[in-house]
Every structure is written in C-alpha cells, then in structure tokens.
Structure 1
Amino acid sequence: VFDFSEDCLYSESQYGPDSKSFKPFQFVSQNVSASKVDRTYVIFGGGRHACPGRFYAVLVLKLFLYHVILKYHVRTENGNMPKKVMTGPFASPPKESLIFERRKET
C-alpha cells in the first residue's frame, strides 16, 4: 500500500481555514469527474501525458467500493481509527489489520 500526504494538495490557501476538517460532501456539488485531468487532482498525471486508463481505473475503484460497502462491515481489530503516521510527505500504512465481516442478507 502506497499513500501520499494530501497536505501538499489541499492547503488552507485553496480550500479555506477549515480545509483539515472532515467534510464528506465538500466537493459533491462541483460536479467534476473523478477522471478529469486537473491541477488540483494530480493522481492520473496531466496534459498529453495523462493516464489513458484513468476512466477504467475510476470505474473499477467505484465497483470495488460499491461491492465492499454493500457486502461487508469493515472495522479495525480494536474498533478505533488508527493514527496516521507520516514519514515526510508520505503516510505509512496502519499497523492494525482490517476486519471484513460479511453483512447479513436481508
């Protein structure tokens, strides 16, 4: 698992003084595609060198998340959110394991 710090992308100067707070629907009203090439979201590169498979990658991630959310209850071993450990601009993966419990069919 590889992660990078979103601190370098989502700074106070761009998104206001509460940019560090969790607002799950912050960008919903903007109606922007997840595979759009943009300076504020550089995951898929940019310009002529943007990843040609980005549309497929976004679709696969959406299907994966849909399946996990629909079929499983995900939690950590102790039930608490693990603390983010930063090494420079990179976040280390949590040491705690995730538990995937199959949801009951209704």
Structure 2
Amino acid sequence: MARTIMMVFTNPRSAEQEAEYNAWYNQVHLKELLDVPGVVAATRYRVAEGAGTTEPSHRYVALYEVEGEPAAVFGALATRTADMSMSPALDTEGAQVVFWEAIDGGSLSR
C-alpha cells in the first residue's frame, strides 16, 4: 500500500502564545504523533511571508507520512489523543485533519 499524507492545519490561540505553541509542537507533539502506529515521518511548515499567496485560514501545517490503512491510523490516533500532552496554546477548535492519497501517475521529480 502506498503512503498517505495526513495534513493537520493549526494555529496558536493568540500571537502571544505563538512561541509556546511552536515549542510544544516541535518538542512534544511531533514525537507523540510518531509513536502512533502507522505514522512514519513528520514535518511542520508555516506560511511563507511575502510570497504573494492568498492568506490562508491556518498559518501552520504539519505533514505526517502514513503507512497502512488511513482509517486504522486515524483510529489509533483518536484512541491516543486523550493521553497526549495537549498545549493550551493550541487552538484545538480550529484545527483540521485531512488525509491525502497519491494519484497514480501524478508524481514527477528531478
């Protein structure tokens, strides 16, 4: 089975909590997600300032590479969420989780 990408779009609750949010996400949360069966890699991104793109609703996205059935990985993630160290700096209500599967023939590289 091909790898799937799980994208998690998030924001800090406020600008004042942004440093706390980033420290927690990088030092705690990424490691917790890598402990979920099926999650094999994690990378975070933020909006590139001045790139001339439309302002998105979320300033941060985490990309998780997933091996296995996405529903099973999401189920394992949901089961573990209650035991994770969630930060009060994370806007949990605005977060969005989306799984993406590769399109056959839709990949090129140099």
TM-score interval, smaller chain: under 0.3
Does 1 or 2 have the higher relative contact order (CA < 8 Å, sep 6+)? 2
Q: Normalising by structure 2, what TM-score? A: 0.24
Q: Normalising by structure 1, what TM-score? A: 0.24
- Bigger radius of gyration: 1
Which is strand-richer, 1 or 2? Answer: 2
